[in-house]
């Protein structure tokens, strides 16, 4: 008779960020395929945040990490097989005591999983920082059955461990409309971001028959989005009293009509692209997130330096937009997405196999 398996994972992340829910939902769905008991850390996340996840089957939610840890130990001492998962997303390597405590807990829990005859799964991560401060991470990463990074610059932080795989946000397959009439802006506060630098882009988009629209998928971006919409008379898809699930539906309905998306929000770009929008990646010399993640999938993520944004003329923008929405460009994006989903499907099968094993 096979032993019972308990799967452990954290859902807690940035409360106001739809992107964090997107990537964790993908891994959660893969883990739920085996119908095992799931122990899920929610922490201080709201009901709206938690209800946005596709939860089903046998699961328990924990407000306290101590309670989750106790439940994990009880499962171990009762003879259950433990599968410990580190959720996708970024991590800044640090020498602070909080960071070391977090890394030590992960190290201990992966040890427990291995001692139980179980597995350790780490997918869709990114790491930045000094490798000298990552020794605990390196120690537990070596014991992982799967270790994937969503970008091509994380592995050196862990001394060459792991493999590169597309961000989990690319996994979902969604269809947009045939008539794409929107040029969408999804923006976060950042250096060199001001409402003035978008005037030529907005003018060019309108000249090409597109309707500039500002979209919010991270609640704290509301203020900047409202300023831009007011300044240029653009439509605004803000985040008011909607639940996380309702906001996701609003945003995806807009992306289904989007021809081009310009953003310095990683999952704004990814959620738009996976429904068929063509990306313009707003970046800077200090950026180590957007382009390293997008280029794992996209043949051309069209990086635009924020410092140079105001120097791009209307005619230059029109030329760039025309090239982006050409049939050849759209076909290339679809080919990129197909390859990314194939790679993520292979990863899905590997994860499901380890959980069932």
In tens, the pLDDT along 55-78 reads: 999 999 999 999 999 999 999 999
* Nearest-angstrom CA–CA distance, 199 and 246: 31
Domain boundaries, the chain: 5-165, 182-339
What φ, ψ does residue 227 adopt, rounded to 5°? -60, -45
- 5-165 and 182-339: identical CATH topology: yes
What percent of the chain has pLDDT above 90? 91
* Nearest-angstrom CA–CA distance, 154 and 30: 24
- Residue among 306, 297, 283 nearest 341 (CA): 297
* Nearest-angstrom CA–CA distance, 171 and 212: 27
Give mean pLDDT, residues 342-349: 98
**What class is the 5-165 domain?**
alpha beta
Would you say 132 and 107 are in contact if contact means Cβ atoms under 8 Å apart? Answer: no
With cut-offs at 50, 70 and 90, classify the pLDDT of residue 157. Answer: very high
Any bridge partners for residue 213, and if so which?
A: 184, 235
Residue range 182-339, CATH number: 3.40.50.2000
Give mean pLDDT, residues 206-223: 97
With cut-offs at 50, 70 and 90, classify the pLDDT of residue 195. Answer: confident
Stated length of the chain: 357
Calculate the alpha carbon distances from 87 to 25, 66, 148, 204, 303 in Å.
10, 18, 11, 40, 28
With cut-offs at 50, 70 and 90, classify the pLDDT of residue 179. Answer: confident
Per-residue pLDDT, 177: 80
What φ, ψ does residue 164 adopt, rounded to 5°? -95, 135
Per-residue pLDDT, 284: 86
Q: pTM for the full model? A: 0.95
With cut-offs at 50, 70 and 90, classify the pLDDT of residue 1. Answer: low
* Nearest-angstrom CA–CA distance, 151 and 253: 28
């Amino acid at each position: 008779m096979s032993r019972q398996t308990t799967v452990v994972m954290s859902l807690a992340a940035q409360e106001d960020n739809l992107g964090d829910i997107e990537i964790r939902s993908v891994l959660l769905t893969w883990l739920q395929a085996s119908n095992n008991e799931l122990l899920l850390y929610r922490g201080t996340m709201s009901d709206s945040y938690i209800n946005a996840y596709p939860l089903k089957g046998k699961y328990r939610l924990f407000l306290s990490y101590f309670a989750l840890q106790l439940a994990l130990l009880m499962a171990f001492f009762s003879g259950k097989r433990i599968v410990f998962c580190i959720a996708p997303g970024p991590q800044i390597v640090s020498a602070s005591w909080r960071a070391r405590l977090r890394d030590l807990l992960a190290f201990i829990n992966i040890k427990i999983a291995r001692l139980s005859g179980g597995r350790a799964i780490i997918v869709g991560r990114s790491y930045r920082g000094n490798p000298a401060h990552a020794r605990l991470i390196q120690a537990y990463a070596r014991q992982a059955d799967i270790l994937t990074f969503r970008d091509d610059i994380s592995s050196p932080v862990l001394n060459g461990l792991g493999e590169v795989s597309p961000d989990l946000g690319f996994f979902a397959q969604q269809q947009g409309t045939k008539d794409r009439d929107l040029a969408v802006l999804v923006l976060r506060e950042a250096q060199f971001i001001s409402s003035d630098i978008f005037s030529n882009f907005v003018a060019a988009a309108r000249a090409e028959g597109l309707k500039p629209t500002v979209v919010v998928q991270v609640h704290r971006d509301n203020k900047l989005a409202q300023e831009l919409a007011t300044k240029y008379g653009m439509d605004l898809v803000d985040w008011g009293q909607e639940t996380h699930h309702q906001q996701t539906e609003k945003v995806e309905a807009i992306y289904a009509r989007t021809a081009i998306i310009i953003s310095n929000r990683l999952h704004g770009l990814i959620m738009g692209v996976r429904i068929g929008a063509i990306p313009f990646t707003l970046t800077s010399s200090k950026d180590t997130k957007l382009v390293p993640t997008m280029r794992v999938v996209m043949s051309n993520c069209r990086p635009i330096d924020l410092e140079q944004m105001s120097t791009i003329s209307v005619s230059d923008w029109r030329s760039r937009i025309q090239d982006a929405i050409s049939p050849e460009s759209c076909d290339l994006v679809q080919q990129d997405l197909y390859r990314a989903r194939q790679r993520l499907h292979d990863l899905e099968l590997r994860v499901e196999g380890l959980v069932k094993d």
